[in-house]
Amino acid sequence: MKKKYLLLLPEIIIVILSAYWFLDNYLGRNVINPFALAVFFILLFQVIFQNKFIGMFLATITALFSIYMVFAVMSEFREFSSFTPEARNLLIFGLTFCILLFASSIIMIYKFLSKVF
């Protein structure tokens, strides 16, 4: 019983991160990002229905996106002339976000890989 809920945790983490993405756009810039909203609803439906093929697809796309985001964080970090508190915060929060997203996607791949094969 606990393993079932534990394997659902990565999807819930990704849903929370996508909700944060949408709310950051909406509340921060007063812009409705349709892509962020669509990602949120697709992930929410995945948590509810647990489709194995869509789950593998979402996990793969999420893993690739998190790797891309690591490069984006490192690119932004290199724009700082020295190691300032802002640069430190960028590294801490950016890499934590990317690592959490990547770990969640790897767990999802593990979970759905056993269902597909």
Q: For 43-95, what is each residue's pLDDT tens digit? A: 888 888 888 888 888 889 889 989 999 999 999 999 998 999 999 999 999 99
- 7 versus 97: which is more confidently predicted? 97
- Cα distances (angstroms) measured from residue 104 to each of 49, 62, 77, 115: 18, 9, 24, 17
pTM value is 0.78
Backbone angles phi, psi at 42, to 5 degrees: -60, -45
